[in-house]
Amino acid sequence: MRFIVKEQDYEKPIGAGLLRYELDGVPTGAVEHWRLTEATDGYEVLRVDLDAREAASGHSYLYHLVRRTDGAPERLAYRFWGSGLHGKLQIEGTLLFSETNITGTRAVNGRTYHEDLNIEPGTLFWFPSAIGLGLVLQAKKVAGNTAVTLNGKIGGEDTLAMQQVSVDVDFLITDTKPMEVAGKTLETVPTMVRWNDNQRIVIRDQNYWPVAMQRPDFADSKLLLATETRYTWY
Protein backbone atom coordinates (compact mmCIF):
# COMPACT_ATOMS: atom_id res chain seq x y z
CA MET A 1 0.00 0.00 0.00
CA ARG A 2 1.23 3.46 -0.92
CA PHE A 3 0.86 6.49 1.37
CA ILE A 4 0.81 10.27 1.07
CA VAL A 5 1.91 10.47 4.72
CA LYS A 6 3.18 7.25 6.28
CA GLU A 7 1.82 6.06 9.60
CA GLN A 8 3.55 7.56 12.59
CA ASP A 9 4.79 5.67 15.64
CA TYR A 10 2.06 7.16 17.84
CA GLU A 11 -0.78 5.92 15.59
CA LYS A 12 -2.69 2.83 16.69
CA PRO A 13 -4.31 0.55 14.08
CA ILE A 14 -8.11 0.29 14.10
CA GLY A 15 -8.87 -1.56 10.88
CA ALA A 16 -7.51 -2.48 7.46
CA GLY A 17 -8.64 -4.18 4.29
CA LEU A 18 -8.23 -4.82 0.59
CA LEU A 19 -11.00 -4.71 -2.01
CA ARG A 20 -10.62 -6.29 -5.44
CA TYR A 21 -12.59 -5.04 -8.43
CA GLU A 22 -14.28 -7.37 -10.92
CA LEU A 23 -16.34 -6.69 -14.03
CA ASP A 24 -18.95 -9.41 -14.57
CA GLY A 25 -16.85 -11.73 -12.41
CA VAL A 26 -13.55 -11.08 -14.21
CA PRO A 27 -10.79 -9.30 -12.22
CA THR A 28 -10.09 -5.84 -13.65
CA GLY A 29 -6.64 -5.49 -12.09
CA ALA A 30 -7.82 -2.67 -9.80
CA VAL A 31 -7.46 -3.00 -6.01
CA GLU A 32 -8.27 -0.70 -3.12
CA HIS A 33 -6.20 -0.85 0.07
CA TRP A 34 -7.36 0.99 3.17
CA ARG A 35 -6.15 1.51 6.71
CA LEU A 36 -7.85 3.30 9.61
CA THR A 37 -5.77 4.40 12.61
CA GLU A 38 -6.23 6.28 15.84
CA ALA A 39 -4.01 9.36 15.95
CA THR A 40 -3.99 11.94 18.74
CA ASP A 41 -6.94 12.05 21.15
CA GLY A 42 -10.16 12.59 19.29
CA TYR A 43 -8.77 12.04 15.78
CA GLU A 44 -8.51 9.20 13.27
CA VAL A 45 -6.67 8.86 9.96
CA LEU A 46 -8.16 7.00 6.99
CA ARG A 47 -5.68 6.12 4.23
CA VAL A 48 -6.90 4.73 0.91
CA ASP A 49 -4.86 3.56 -2.08
CA LEU A 50 -7.11 2.91 -5.09
CA ASP A 51 -4.69 1.40 -7.56
CA ALA A 52 -5.98 0.77 -11.08
CA ARG A 53 -2.60 0.87 -12.82
CA GLU A 54 -3.15 -2.74 -13.94
CA ALA A 55 -6.74 -2.04 -15.05
CA ALA A 56 -7.96 -0.62 -18.36
CA SER A 57 -8.06 2.96 -17.07
CA GLY A 58 -4.53 2.91 -15.65
CA HIS A 59 -5.62 5.45 -13.04
CA SER A 60 -4.24 5.70 -9.54
CA TYR A 61 -5.60 7.53 -6.47
CA LEU A 62 -4.29 8.14 -2.95
CA TYR A 63 -6.39 9.66 -0.15
CA HIS A 64 -5.32 10.74 3.34
CA LEU A 65 -8.28 11.84 5.48
CA VAL A 66 -7.89 13.21 9.00
CA ARG A 67 -11.22 13.17 10.81
CA ARG A 68 -12.66 13.45 14.29
CA THR A 69 -13.82 10.27 15.96
CA ASP A 70 -17.43 11.38 15.36
CA GLY A 71 -16.68 11.13 11.62
CA ALA A 72 -16.45 14.86 10.87
CA PRO A 73 -13.65 15.49 8.34
CA GLU A 74 -10.83 17.91 9.19
CA ARG A 75 -8.36 17.62 6.31
CA LEU A 76 -8.10 15.61 3.11
CA ALA A 77 -4.98 15.26 0.99
CA TYR A 78 -5.30 13.43 -2.33
CA ARG A 79 -3.20 12.48 -5.34
CA PHE A 80 -4.12 11.26 -8.81
CA TRP A 81 -2.08 9.88 -11.70
CA GLY A 82 -3.58 8.93 -15.04
CA SER A 83 -4.45 10.22 -18.49
CA GLY A 84 -6.33 13.29 -19.67
CA LEU A 85 -5.80 16.79 -21.04
CA HIS A 86 -4.36 15.19 -24.21
CA GLY A 87 -1.70 13.31 -22.29
CA LYS A 88 -0.64 12.48 -18.76
CA LEU A 89 -2.67 13.90 -15.90
CA GLN A 90 -1.29 14.43 -12.40
CA ILE A 91 -3.22 16.10 -9.59
CA GLU A 92 -2.30 17.04 -6.03
CA GLY A 93 -5.01 18.44 -3.80
CA THR A 94 -5.81 19.43 -0.23
CA LEU A 95 -9.16 20.25 1.40
CA LEU A 96 -9.59 21.92 4.81
CA PHE A 97 -12.95 21.61 6.55
CA SER A 98 -14.81 23.75 9.06
CA GLU A 99 -18.43 23.42 10.10
CA THR A 100 -19.56 26.00 7.51
CA ASN A 101 -16.78 26.06 4.88
CA ILE A 102 -14.42 23.93 2.81
CA THR A 103 -11.33 25.46 1.23
CA GLY A 104 -9.16 23.64 -1.24
CA THR A 105 -6.04 23.87 -3.35
CA ARG A 106 -5.69 21.65 -6.41
CA ALA A 107 -2.69 21.48 -8.74
CA VAL A 108 -3.48 19.97 -12.16
CA ASN A 109 -0.31 19.27 -14.14
CA GLY A 110 1.34 22.06 -12.20
CA ARG A 111 -1.45 24.63 -12.65
CA THR A 112 -2.97 25.62 -9.30
CA TYR A 113 -6.67 26.15 -8.62
CA HIS A 114 -8.14 27.55 -5.39
CA GLU A 115 -11.59 26.47 -4.26
CA ASP A 116 -13.86 27.87 -1.54
CA LEU A 117 -17.28 26.48 -0.73
CA ASN A 118 -19.71 27.58 2.00
CA ILE A 119 -21.70 24.68 3.43
CA GLU A 120 -24.46 24.06 5.93
CA PRO A 121 -23.53 22.36 9.22
CA GLY A 122 -23.94 18.60 8.84
CA THR A 123 -23.14 18.53 5.12
CA LEU A 124 -21.90 15.06 4.15
CA PHE A 125 -18.59 14.44 2.38
CA TRP A 126 -17.08 11.53 0.50
CA PHE A 127 -14.26 10.93 -1.96
CA PRO A 128 -14.47 8.72 -5.08
CA SER A 129 -13.75 5.15 -3.98
CA ALA A 130 -15.67 2.25 -2.46
CA ILE A 131 -14.37 3.07 1.02
CA GLY A 132 -14.93 6.78 0.42
CA LEU A 133 -18.63 6.11 -0.29
CA GLY A 134 -18.88 4.60 3.18
CA LEU A 135 -18.56 8.07 4.65
CA VAL A 136 -22.20 8.84 3.71
CA LEU A 137 -23.81 5.65 5.04
CA GLN A 138 -24.87 7.26 8.31
CA ALA A 139 -26.88 9.98 6.58
CA LYS A 140 -29.65 11.39 8.76
CA LYS A 141 -32.35 11.02 6.11
CA VAL A 142 -33.10 8.88 3.07
CA ALA A 143 -33.58 11.55 0.40
CA GLY A 144 -32.11 14.96 -0.31
CA ASN A 145 -28.99 14.92 1.84
CA THR A 146 -26.62 17.76 0.96
CA ALA A 147 -23.12 16.48 0.29
CA VAL A 148 -19.78 17.52 -1.13
CA THR A 149 -17.61 15.16 -3.15
CA LEU A 150 -14.85 15.32 -5.76
CA ASN A 151 -15.64 15.26 -9.46
CA GLY A 152 -14.96 11.67 -10.50
CA LYS A 153 -15.23 12.34 -14.25
CA ILE A 154 -11.60 12.07 -15.24
CA GLY A 155 -9.88 13.93 -18.03
CA GLY A 156 -10.32 17.69 -17.78
CA GLU A 157 -9.06 20.52 -15.61
CA ASP A 158 -12.06 20.00 -13.30
CA THR A 159 -11.00 16.42 -12.46
CA LEU A 160 -11.43 15.91 -8.69
CA ALA A 161 -12.71 19.48 -8.22
CA MET A 162 -15.17 19.98 -5.38
CA GLN A 163 -18.84 19.66 -6.27
CA GLN A 164 -21.94 19.98 -4.12
CA VAL A 165 -24.66 17.41 -4.77
CA SER A 166 -27.90 16.06 -3.35
CA VAL A 167 -27.58 12.45 -2.17
CA ASP A 168 -30.18 9.79 -1.46
CA VAL A 169 -29.12 7.00 0.93
CA ASP A 170 -31.64 4.17 1.11
CA PHE A 171 -31.24 0.89 3.04
CA LEU A 172 -32.60 -1.78 0.68
CA ILE A 173 -33.62 -4.20 3.43
CA THR A 174 -34.77 -3.65 7.01
CA ASP A 175 -32.92 -6.61 8.53
CA THR A 176 -29.28 -7.62 8.29
CA LYS A 177 -28.21 -10.37 5.88
CA PRO A 178 -25.33 -12.83 6.50
CA MET A 179 -22.47 -12.48 4.02
CA GLU A 180 -19.10 -14.18 3.73
CA VAL A 181 -16.40 -11.51 3.75
CA ALA A 182 -12.72 -12.51 3.66
CA GLY A 183 -13.44 -15.78 5.46
CA LYS A 184 -15.74 -14.21 8.06
CA THR A 185 -19.53 -14.29 8.28
CA LEU A 186 -20.80 -10.76 8.77
CA GLU A 187 -24.26 -9.29 9.20
CA THR A 188 -24.62 -6.82 6.33
CA VAL A 189 -27.10 -4.35 4.84
CA PRO A 190 -27.14 -3.33 1.14
CA THR A 191 -27.57 0.43 0.78
CA MET A 192 -28.40 2.36 -2.39
CA VAL A 193 -26.52 5.64 -2.80
CA ARG A 194 -27.72 7.98 -5.57
CA TRP A 195 -26.49 11.39 -6.73
CA ASN A 196 -26.81 13.23 -10.05
CA ASP A 197 -27.00 10.44 -12.66
CA ASN A 198 -24.97 8.01 -10.54
CA GLN A 199 -25.97 5.13 -8.32
CA ARG A 200 -24.05 2.59 -6.27
CA ILE A 201 -25.05 -0.25 -3.99
CA VAL A 202 -22.77 -0.21 -0.96
CA ILE A 203 -22.95 -3.28 1.29
CA ARG A 204 -22.04 -2.29 4.82
CA ASP A 205 -21.42 -4.20 8.02
CA GLN A 206 -23.02 -3.51 11.40
CA ASN A 207 -20.50 -0.73 12.01
CA TYR A 208 -21.60 1.05 8.80
CA TRP A 209 -18.30 0.13 7.15
CA PRO A 210 -18.39 -0.85 3.44
CA VAL A 211 -17.45 -4.45 2.67
CA ALA A 212 -18.56 -4.45 -0.97
CA MET A 213 -19.70 -2.03 -3.67
CA GLN A 214 -21.68 -2.63 -6.85
CA ARG A 215 -21.82 -0.24 -9.80
CA PRO A 216 -24.20 -1.25 -12.58
CA ASP A 217 -23.19 -0.22 -16.09
CA PHE A 218 -26.50 0.11 -17.88
CA ALA A 219 -24.92 1.01 -21.21
CA ASP A 220 -22.94 -2.24 -21.39
CA SER A 221 -25.22 -4.31 -19.09
CA LYS A 222 -22.17 -5.12 -16.97
CA LEU A 223 -21.70 -5.07 -13.21
CA LEU A 224 -18.59 -3.66 -11.55
CA LEU A 225 -18.11 -5.23 -8.12
CA ALA A 226 -15.58 -4.40 -5.41
CA THR A 227 -15.35 -6.97 -2.60
CA GLU A 228 -13.23 -7.17 0.54
CA THR A 229 -10.64 -9.93 0.34
CA ARG A 230 -8.80 -8.89 3.51
CA TYR A 231 -10.76 -7.45 6.39
CA THR A 232 -9.31 -6.87 9.85
CA TRP A 233 -10.38 -4.94 12.93
CA TYR A 234 -7.82 -4.72 15.72
Burial 178-207 (b: 16+ CB within 10 A, else e): ebebeeeebebbbbebebeeeebbbbbbee
Length of the chain: 234
Contact 208, 137 (CB under 8 A): yes
pLDDT confidence of residue 219: 58
Helix ranges (H only) for 34-164 are 130-133
Distance CA 87, CA 215 (A): 27
Q: What is the mean pLDDT of each run of 10 residues along the chain (234 residues)?
A: 96 98 94 96 96 94 97 97 85 97 96 97 96 95 96 92 97 91 95 94 95 80 92 96
- Return the closest-CA partner of residue 73 out of 149, 143, 9: 149
SS3 of residue 69 by DSSP: coil
Backbone angles phi, psi at 214, to 5 degrees: -120, 135
pLDDT confidence of residue 159: 95
pLDDT confidence of residue 74: 97
Distance CA 159, CA 157 (A): 6
pTM to 2 decimals?
A: 0.95
